[in-house]
Chain A
Amino acid sequence: MTETITRYEPGEPAAAAGYVDAPPRMGFFTDTTLCIGCKACEVACKEWNQVPATGLDLLGMSYDNTGALTANSWRHVAFVETDAHWLMMSDVCKHCTRAACLDVCPTGSLFRTEFGTVVVQEDICNGCGYCIPACPYGVIDQRRDDGRAWKCTLCYDRIGAGMTPACAQACPTESIQYGPLDELRDRAQSRVQLLHDAGVPEARLYGHDPADGVGGDGAFFLLLDEPEVYGLPPDPVVTTRDLPRMWRRAGAAALVMAAVTVAAFLGGSS
């Protein structure tokens, strides 16, 4: 009945979730300098995961007619057109080390896999919707005609069989790179150094730092501008970081409520 929760231990989330001899934590490094905006990742994800179409949406703002990560789009290629540059970036669930969606899920539908990723069990989810406003990145979403919450699984079925996730497999430029997170972080650091040396000082990593507000992302990025330009939060924090303080405030308010009631009834008969 009771689930043991030890998600605030630093380091490997799979070990913290209770896996013994878990495989290495797997993730994505999405290098946006290599993205050509072909959307092969979006299509491959839909095909493999049987994600329904949303119909023909023309948003009229850019080459981006997907718009955002939603229940029906688990990869989303953002197109940023400015006077200075044209940026493309394939966004995805971050598979946070400290995942708010997972923390707040009241059914146990969301769980931590042995690979350190975060997955929704579709046969458990009852569509309470709590994970949706809990996500600091606005990733997880409710499928309207279905009622349940859906998001990227980092192709849990494929990686369990030793395969590469569909999006990374389909990416023609290796902008999306899949592998053990440690290796990806090392590779990303050298890539940023290379770009800085080549005269691209605006290159920076996003979501790579285990000391950030979500304990680092399992899917992180190399960006060429501020995160908010791509629709990413500049300094996301897992909301449950403040939860112990929230419970203390609720406890104090509950005590005040009880005390006020006692006082009102002891105050005489008038």
Chain B
Amino acid sequence: MSRDGVTVPPLNFESYYGRPIIKAPVWRWDIPAYLFTGGLAAGSALIAVGADLTGRSALRRSGRLASLAAVGASTYFLVHDLGRPARFHHMLRVAKPTSPMSVGTWILAVFGPAAGAAAVSEVGPWLPRHGLFGLARRIAPPVGRAAGVVSAAMAPALATYTGVLLADTAVPSWHEAYPWLPFLFSGSALAGAAGLNLVAAPRAEAGPLRRLVVAAAGLELAAGRRVERMGLVSDPYRTGPAGVLLRAGRALLVAGTVGALLGRRSRVVSALSGVALLASSAATRFAVFQAGLTSARDPRYTVLPQRQRLTEAAAAADN
């Protein structure tokens, strides 16, 4: 038997009263929401530094403000999801490369303040010209640029470590997708951030955003295709609520990309395309999250691939 070139194990198997073998994540909707806002923060930081270094001041401003807002929301979601939120700072006791969550904590600990400083530097032009405020007004642009560069340097790590965060579990549909989730999430982050800034920035400065949307859509569609072709453990991505969300995300991505390209002369079409891209990014994150829950709750996805591995190992040992 084969489907998409992957051998499908027999569908009959024994289980303990159909009960799950692994525990599904206890994470609530905060976590897919964080995947979405973390990607927005990362993508917006990259856009802001690109705009800053190429003299697009309105796009720089929207990118920096979006990045700060999104990283603020991310921090809220992460702390809110903890079983003991008051102990969030226990994350800072250790730095462990074997824990993607620890790595992510330290990425955020550098990214967040840098993105915040870059956004705050935007108040420079509104400050009085004299005295201490005058000094702050003069140093705001270089400080903002330096902080923006630091946040942009961390941004690709922030957008992609979350793929490892999900994959580094026993959840079958997440673990098996480990080669593709970081690419899917980087595409989703760029598409969402480009969408948000398409809404906020003037048309004259949006040229790089349109090119970014095309590249992001290519990344996301290619990685999404691979995630749907992993054999049995892809079923949760293709069927049920996750399948619906993933297809909706893809349709919105295509619509938003086409709109961003064709609507370059219209402020309204550009903004609508931006909203579609934002919605697409959110839908993709919730879909991937939901697919993992589905695969954890059904013992089939845990047992059958392991059984197949044992069968193949036994066959190889016989030969």
Interface residues of chain A, those whose CB is within 8 Å of chain B, are 1-3, 5, 7, 61-62, 67-68, 78, 80, 100, 103-109, 124-130, 132-142, 146-149, 225-226, 228-236, 239-240, 242-243, 245-247, 249-258, 260-265, 267-270
**Bound complex: CA A267 to CA B50 (Å):** 11
**Bound complex: CA A267 to CA B85 (Å):** 45
**Bound complex: CA A265 to CA B309 (Å):** 46
Interface residues of chain B, those whose CB is within 8 Å of chain A, are 13-17, 19-27, 46-47, 50-51, 53-54, 81-85, 87-88, 90-91, 93-102, 105, 155-157, 159-161, 163-164, 167-171, 174-175, 178-180, 182-183, 185-186, 189-190, 207-209, 211-212, 215-216, 219, 292, 296, 299, 302-303, 306-307, 309-310
Shortest 5 CB-CB distances between A and B: which pairs?
A127-B83, A147-B83, A231-B16, A254-B156, A126-B87
Nearest CB in chain B: distance from A135 CB, A? 6
Check A134 against B307 for contact (C-beta < 8 Å): no
**Bound complex: CA A231 to CA B299 (Å):** 9
A249 contacts which of B101, B157, B163 (Cβ < 8 Å)?
Answer: B163
Q: Which chain B residue shows the least CB distance to A102?
A: B98
Nearest CB in chain A: distance from B70 CB, A? 16
For the A-B complex, the count of residue pairs with Cβ-Cβ distances under 8 Å equals 254
- Starting from the known contacts A133-B24, A225-B14, A242-B178, 5 additional A-B residue pairs (CB-CB under 8 Å) come to A2-B94, A126-B90, A130-B169, A239-B169, A240-B168
Chain A residue numbers with a CB within 8 Å of B24 are 133
Check B22 against A136 for contact (C-beta < 8 Å): yes
Chain A residue numbers with a CB within 8 Å of B101 are 104, 106, 128, 130
A127 contacts which of B17, B82, B171, B179 (Cβ < 8 Å)?
Answer: B82
Check A104 against B27 for contact (C-beta < 8 Å): no
Nearest CB in chain B: distance from A17 CB, A? 12
Check A3 against B307 for contact (C-beta < 8 Å): no
Chain A residue numbers with a CB within 8 Å of B46 are 257-258, 261
Q: Which chain A residue shows the least CB distance to B23?
A: A138
5 cross-chain CB contacts under 8 A: A126-B85, A133-B24, A133-B169, A141-B26, A239-B169
Chain B residue numbers with a CB within 8 Å of A1 are 94-95
Nearest CB in chain A: distance from B210 CB, A? 8
**Bound complex: CA A268 to CA B14 (Å):** 61
Interface centre among A3, A146, A148 (most CB of B within 10 A): A3
Nearest CB in chain B: distance from A97 CB, A? 14
Chain B residue numbers with a CB within 8 Å of A138 are 20-23, 170
A254 contacts which of B21, B50, B157, B306 (Cβ < 8 Å)?
Answer: B157
Check B21 against A228 for contact (C-beta < 8 Å): yes
Check A267 against B207 for contact (C-beta < 8 Å): yes
